[in-house]
Amino acid sequence: MRVDIISIFPEYFAPLDVSLMGKARERGILDIHLHQLRDWTHDVHKTVDDTPYGGGPGMVMKPEVWGEAVDAVIEGGRAARGADALPRLVVPTPSGRPFTQEVALEYAEEPWLLFAPARYEGIDSRVVAEYGERLRADEVSIGDYVLAGGEAAVLVMVEAVGRLLPGVLGNARSVADDSFAPGAMANLLEGPVYTKPPVWRGHEVPEVLLSGHHGRIARWRRDEALRRTLDRRPELVARLDRDGLDKHDRRV
């Protein structure tokens, strides 16, 4: 997967050089290209923003600069991926549709993502309109809070998507057992996890996990996932369709 990120703070993405994402890049599974938005300005101050039409607080990012940057990055990617290749454009914004595990799985199927994190009050809305005419352009939010800019959201999304790519996680089952993963764990939070020692400061590991009885362990884990979800995210349990709850679940 190719990932292009255009930002006025490309240094913000240094964390993508370490840990899982760093290894995925070294192994060629993830091909990340960072771009400084100000490289596409033409004034001495490298201006990327201006006052909002209609008045109001803050500044809006200029469409001309973003347009030149996105065009150039697409051309650059096409040199590597073919003359007709197009990325999926992802613009983080508090007003976007929720970024969920389902969206992460969808993005993990894309060969090329282009992230456009904004600062200030956001990017002139004509940019998404312009590119939405010829490629898939999404406005997404990672949560119901407002960040100082889209860069942190891009870091979150690149990690959530990157870890789903084949070969990135050592144990493929880890993805299947994720909270929110499709299948048996869909809409359920992961339950508690334990490792050695069996007793730590008087806290014992639940006996069932030491039993070696895989059926009982699987049942216990499901019960704990359901219990935790009911306690912390009751609205997710409502999403569990009738098939998602088995006869044992009703007693949790």
Ligand X SMILES: COc1ccc2nc(C(=O)O)sc2c1
Q: Does 149 bind ligand X (CB under 6 A)?
A: yes
Q: If we measure between CA atoms, which residue out of 146, 157, 156 comes closest to residue 122?
A: 146
Contacting ligand X (CB under 6 A), which of 22, 94, 206, 244? 94
Q: Report, in Å, the least distance between residue 233 CB and ligand X.
A: 18
Among 10, 52, 94, 206, the one annotated catalytic: 94
Site for ligand X in 119-138 (CB under 6 A): 119-120, 122
Nearer to ligand X, 9 or 200 (CB): 9
Q: Does 142 bind ligand X (CB under 6 A)?
A: yes
Q: What is the C-alpha end-to-end distance of the chain, expressed in Å? A: 42
Residue 52 falls in the annotated catalytic set: no
Q: Does 118 bind ligand X (CB under 6 A)?
A: yes
Residues 6+ away with beta carbon under 8 Å from 140: 90, 91, 92, 93, 96, 97, 98, 99, 103, 153, 157
Q: Report, in Å, the least distance between residue 95 CB and ligand X.
A: 9
C-alpha–C-alpha distance, residues 224 and 218, integer Å: 10
Q: State how far the alpha carbon of 87 is from the alpha carbons of 22, 45, 66, 82, 123, in Å.
A: 22, 30, 15, 12, 19
Q: Report, in Å, the least distance between residue 105 CB and ligand X.
A: 18
Q: Are 132 and 144 in contact (CB under 8 A)?
A: no
Nearer to ligand X, 121 or 130 (CB): 121
Binding site for ligand X (CB under 6 A): 92-94, 118-120, 122, 141-143, 145-147, 149-150, 153
Catalytic residue positions, numbered = 94, 121, 163, 178
